Structure 1
Amino acid sequence: MERRRGRGRGIWAIVLLAAGGLLVLGGSAWGAMSAPGDHPEVVYQKENIRGENMRPTYEPGDTAWFSMGADSENFEVSRGDVVLVSVPEWVPDGLVLSRVVAFGGDRIEYRQGESTLRLNGQPLDEPYILDRSVPSIVPFDVTVPEQRIFLLGDNRNNSVDSSLHLGEDQGTIHISAVRGEDVRRPTDFIVAGGAVVGGAVMCVVGGGLGVWALVLRRRRPFRRQLRLRA
């Protein structure tokens, strides 16, 4: 009876190569579909939160993930987005973490004594702020110009934001000052990257097994001797 050397290793090599290839292709496709098409240069960056202006959304010491773009790139921000902005007039040597409450064309206002801000004449529900009884520490009435945004921290009692700089363009900043958008955690990219790396490792192992199997097959097959009992 003949037994071909390396047969088992060859089978494992085929399985690993096939599975690894599928993981690499699937992970690459998943990453490509998850990538923001309008901003192919965006990368993800992890930041440690140091200030208290965004409590309770982010506490000091928390970790936040941001999609980061090139300087002066116009991000497509929406109301309620948490963003990193560069405003030297507010913070000369760093970025400011804040929330977009209004953008171009919106009218945002706070009337002393009211329990909510007003956005375009309607009460603005803000479940994310630390103290919902204090939507602002100063009154304001601002119509946001096009291509500009109005920012407030979630901790309204302790925040460097638009409400404290109303004398400078009514507290609004140009959208080009946005350097990053909060994405909580880029799970799709982490999973896709893990799939690609795992698939690549499986392909390497499978390729090694395949080479080993070919070497063994080139050797002379041996016969297993059967002893018959009388």
Structure 2
Amino acid sequence: MDGMRRVMVAAWLVGLVGVALAATSLVSLREGYKLVSVRGESMRPTYDIGDSVLVERIGADEARRGDVVLYEAPDRYRGADVVQRVIGVGGDRVVCCVGAAGTGAERIVRNGKPLVEPYVRDGVGDGLRQPYDVLVPPGRLFLLGDHRMNARDSRAFVSDHGGTVPAGAVVGRVTGDYAVPVLLALLLLLGLALLLGAALIAIGARTVRRRPSVLTRWWPEHL
């Protein structure tokens, strides 16, 4: 019985470790990351319609110039979350444009310096021929899609805070680094495996404990 009790205690300990590991990993995944599907063409060629992108949740003050972020702007996009690129942060002056408009040679200017943007489609920095000059208010972001000729971004709302959105609207940053979420997923699976193993051990131990002992008589009845 002492041996059986030790088996049961071990099963409980393994089960508790499994629960803790699975719960911690699951919470970290849910609170730290989000997988979303791109719905529009505004981020071509970087992301196309139907592409799944991994979003790492960040704080309101963590978005940086050049980051591709997922943000919420229900008053502009009918409640849908949007993926766009941060062009300007609080205090930046974003101006369109330098270069000949409509030639594909125009470039956006930030704080007096033309931007080098290898990610834009066909090398077109603007394409809409709608000049703007925006001083980004503190705590807000100016965002553009990478497909500048087909993106409904900050340029479409320049009458509203220069088209900027609150930094707090950012849900997270699109990332190509899957190492941490994959590790968390593996730890989640390990925790579930430990929990299942502990349950099977406990069931097996109880079955053995409840099985009646049978003594086999090996000697003849009559000597």
TM-score between both structures, scaled by the size of structure 2: 0.69
Deviates more, 1:184-193 or 1:207-216: 184-193
Cα contact 2:18–2:191 (8 A) shared by 1: yes
Distance in 2, matches of 1:221 and 1:127, equals 80
Deviates more, 1:93-102 or 1:120-129: 120-129
Q: State the partner residue of 1:210.
A: 205
Distance in 2, matches of 1:169 and 1:63, equals 31
Deviates more, 1:194-203 or 1:21-30: 21-30
Distance in 1, matches of 2:33 and 2:141, equals 23
1:50 and 2:21 aligned? no
Change in Cα spacing, 1:121 to 1:25, as seen in structure 2 (3 Å) is same
Could you tell me which of 133, 137, 150 is aligned with 1:141?
A: 133
Cα offset, 1:209, TM superposition: 1.8
1:91 and 2:90 aligned? no
Cα contact 2:43–2:84 (8 A) shared by 1: yes
Structure 1 residue ranges without an equivalent (≥5): 1-6, 36-40, 226-230
Cα offset, 1:170, TM superposition: 1.6
Per-residue deviation, residues 125-176 of structure 1 (Å, max 9, x unmatched): 4343333x21222443322110110010111111011123323322212223
TM-score between both structures, scaled by the size of structure 1: 0.67
Cα offset, 1:61, TM superposition: 1.6
Cα contact 2:70–2:81 (8 A) shared by 1: no
1:109 and 2:95 aligned? yes
Structure number having the greater helix percentage: 2
Cα contact 1:84–1:180 (8 A) shared by 2: yes
Change in Cα spacing, 1:31 to 1:47, as seen in structure 2 (3 Å) is closer
Cα contact 2:25–2:185 (8 A) shared by 1: no
Q: State the partner residue of 1:130.
A: 121
Identical columns (%): 27
Structure 2 residue ranges without an equivalent (≥5): 100-104, 219-223
Which amino acid in the other structure matches residue 205 of structure 2? G
Which residues in structure 2 correspond to 1:63-102 (within 5 Å)?
Answer: 63-66=52-55, 74=60, 76-79=62-65, 80-88=67-75, 90-92=76-78, 94-102=80-88
Which residues in structure 2 correspond to 1:144-223 (within 5 Å)?
Answer: 144-179=136-171, 181-183=173-175, 186-216=181-211, 219-220=212-213, 222=215
Cα contact 2:98–2:108 (8 A) shared by 1: no
Instruction: Report the RMSD for the aligned CA atoms in angstroms.
Output: 3.9
Cα contact 2:54–2:175 (8 A) shared by 1: yes
Between the two proteins, the alignment pairs up a number of residues equal to 207
Change in Cα spacing, 1:210 to 1:78, as seen in structure 2 (3 Å) is farther
Cα contact 2:73–2:165 (8 A) shared by 1: no
Distance in 2, matches of 1:134 and 1:51, equals 18
Distance in 2, matches of 1:117 and 1:78, equals 17
The structure whose RCO (Cα within 8 Å, separation 6+) is larger is: 1
Cα contact 1:20–1:198 (8 A) shared by 2: no
Q: State the partner residue of 1:120.
A: 111
Distance in 1, matches of 2:11 and 2:45, equals 47
Cα contact 1:17–1:206 (8 A) shared by 2: no
Change in Cα spacing, 1:145 to 1:97, as seen in structure 2 (3 Å) is same
